[in-house]
Amino acid sequence: MFERKKLAVADIRGDPEKRYRILPAYLYMLEKTNPDTKTSLVVDKDNRFRYLFVALGASIEGFEYMRKVITVDATFLKTIEGGCLIIATAQDPNLHHYPIAFAVVDGEKNESWKWFFTTLKTVIPDSTELVFVSDRNPSLIKAVAEVYPMSKHGYCIWHISHNVKGHVNHGRDEVALLFRKVACLYSEPEFKKQYDDFRERYPSCARYLDKSVEVERWAKCHFPGARYNIDTSNCAESLNAVFEKARRMSLLPMLDTVIEKMSEWFNRHRKDAAEGPSSRKLVPLVENKLHNRTPKGSKLTVTPLNTFQLEYSVIGADGKTYSVDLQHKTCSCRKFDIDKYPCRHAIGAIIKCLKHDRPLQLSDMYDFISKYYFITLWAKAYRRTIYPVPHITHWMVPKEVAAAKCPLPPDYKKRKGRHQEKRHPSAGESRPRPRPNKYIPNRGLASYFNCSQGTEGTEGAEGTEGAEGTEGAEGAEG
């Protein structure tokens, strides 16, 4: 049956061996069509395909103008050859996907993850500014620590929230939502207060978090790096959903699909950056937020503390006093610090500063906003065109590439049982277990009314066994 399926797939999508034979030539044309593109192809000792890495030159150059946060995720491929698709993506300042690199590997293993990050490091060097966000796959965590020791690594709060809700019996979705709200708090005092309330209300969840996850990895206010608004790896995971159909294709059609989609996104966002009045300086998301905050910030009571150091005391709309340091771009509410653009309290202080103190080094509101939110950088990130690989009849490949030893398809071994349809859960991740069947086999209602001596003993034994089995199942479910 399996062999017939392979033949049927080959008839529809082409012979896999033929497609793998042209893979070196395909990668050559991809690099030629898109300058500065980085590809890497690895085979095993039997010359069978093992790993493939692709980072397009346009993405490599454009990442220079992006916030230095990379989300990473892997998903299995639904093909005869199997394997996993790894995607590393940034998020542009207007909250759009910005894929940096993708790879095909043989699975989520220590060796494959280390190879991926080692290859990624050739285009994205290690730095203290760099942040990775992912689920808690042990192999991934180990690889990041070994290959990118200077970077910071945060965990996806969405995944952790699903782990947390597995430690309560009722109201699981409510618990997950409450945890995510606590994780996204900016202020450390507010976090401590609400996390203590969460701990008191759900002690089993708090014990799980204390035991398995460092608070610095998931709490926004405690994270040591610049994570901005990126609290989850959903950016990478949603790309996996976008490429759902592509993951069912053989290798080259899948690569074509990914590249075509990236080309479409680059073109769309390039036009977005060019639209609007020339006076607009910030990306629409931040421009709109500041537009809403400015009228409220202008009404706050601001008291100068040190005009030389640009320090101010601001009474917020909630009646609390906040300390704003414009020189270091911080506020005690921590939104200014983390998001890298002014909160309401900072806006009130900036208005006071520019109107009355007039520091020589500052001229307007834009001096207090991170460079990554300006349209000029946003446009630069998308300025290069991504070109699809031309049809094979238009290829011009050097003799040494055409004569190179071509890889064979992976040696896929058919596993017993059904083909996997859902991804493997990450470390600590819980999945809803199927509810146990409460029906007890071979136990009809008539047995309760059978008073014969021989049946009574049987009924008693069955009743005890059934009750114990049901109780055990319910206990496991809880």
Average pLDDT over residues 137-163: 95
Residue 254 has pLDDT above 80, yes or no: yes
Residue 452 has pLDDT above 80, yes or no: no
Rounded to 5°, angle at Cα 77 from 71 and 81: 140
Average pLDDT over residues 77-99: 88
- Highest averaged pLDDT of the listed ranges 29-38, 411-420, 425-434: 29-38
Q: Check if the beta carbon of residue 336 is closer than 8 Å to that of residue 314.
A: no
Average pLDDT over residues 465-475: 42
As a whole-number percent, the residues of the chain with pLDDT over 90 amount to 62
Average pLDDT over residues 49-69: 96
Q: Reduce the DSSP state of residue 259 to 3 states and report it.
A: helix
User: Tokens standing for 408?
Assistant: 């064979």
Q: Check if the beta carbon of residue 83 is closer than 8 Å to that of residue 112.
A: no
Residue 201: CB atoms within 10 A of its CB come to 12
Q: Check if the beta carbon of residue 417 is closer than 8 Å to that of residue 123.
A: no
Residue 475 has pLDDT above 80, yes or no: no
Span of 141-150, 418-427, 429-438, 459-468 with lowest mean pLDDT: 459-468
- CA proximity to 243, closest of 231, 230, 260: 260
Residue 32 has pLDDT above 70, yes or no: yes
Q: Is the dihedral of CA 421, 426, 427, 432 positive or negative?
A: negative
DSSP codes of every residue in 380-419: HHT-SPP-PPPPGGG----HHHHTSPPPBPP---PPSSSP
Average pLDDT over residues 68-86: 87
Residue 466 has pLDDT above 90, yes or no: no
Q: Check if the beta carbon of residue 96 is closer than 8 Å to that of residue 120.
A: no
Residue 434 has pLDDT above 90, yes or no: no
Q: How many alpha carbons lie under 13 Å from residue 18 in its C-beta half-sphere?
A: 7
Residue 183's pLDDT is what? 96
Integer CA distances (angstroms), 477 to 170, 207, 330, 473, in order: 11, 20, 47, 6
Helix axes 188-201, 172-183, angle to 10 degrees: 160
Rounded to 5°, angle at Cα 153 from 148 and 156: 140
Q: Tell which wins on pLDDT, 280 or 6.
A: 280
Span of 36-40, 81-85, 338-342 with lowest mean pLDDT: 81-85
> What dihedral angle (degrees, nearest 10) is formed by the CA atoms of 410, 416, 422, 427?
-90
Q: How confident is the model at residue 277 (pLDDT cuts 50, 70, 90)?
A: confident
Residue 470 has pLDDT above 50, yes or no: no
Q: Check if the beta carbon of residue 53 is closer than 8 Å to that of residue 38.
A: yes
Sheet containing 152-155: order of strands: 38-43, 49-55, 97-105, 84-91, 69-76, 131-134, 152-155
Residue 88 to residue 301: CA distance in whole angstroms: 45
Residue 251 to residue 13: CA distance in whole angstroms: 10
Residue 478 has pLDDT above 60, yes or no: no
Q: Tell which wins on pLDDT, 251 or 478.
A: 251
Integer CA distances (angstroms), 415 to 2, 21, 422, in order: 10, 26, 16
β-sheet bridge partners, residue 76: 84
Span between the terminal Cα atoms of the chain, in Å: 41
Place of tokens 């979705």: 173
Average pLDDT over residues 391-395: 92
Q: How confident is the model at residue 361 (pLDDT cuts 50, 70, 90)?
A: low
Q: Tell which wins on pLDDT, 110 or 240.
A: 110
> What dihedral angle (degrees, nearest 10) is formed by the CA atoms of 361, 364, 366, 368?
50
Q: Please state the length of the chain.
A: 478
| Residues whose CB is less than 8 angstroms from the CB of residue 128 and which lie 6 or more positions away in sequence, other chains included | 150, 151, 225
Mean of per-residue pLDDT scores for the chain: 84
Q: Tell which wins on pLDDT, 446 or 332.
A: 332
Q: How confident is the model at residue 18 (pLDDT cuts 50, 70, 90)?
A: confident
User: Tokens standing for 160?
Assistant: 């952790």
Residue 333's pLDDT is what? 96
Q: Reduce the DSSP state of residue 170 to 3 states and report it.
A: coil
Residue 418's pLDDT is what? 55
Q: How confident is the model at residue 438 (pLDDT cuts 50, 70, 90)?
A: very low
pTM of the model: 0.81
Residue 248: CB atoms within 10 A of its CB come to 14
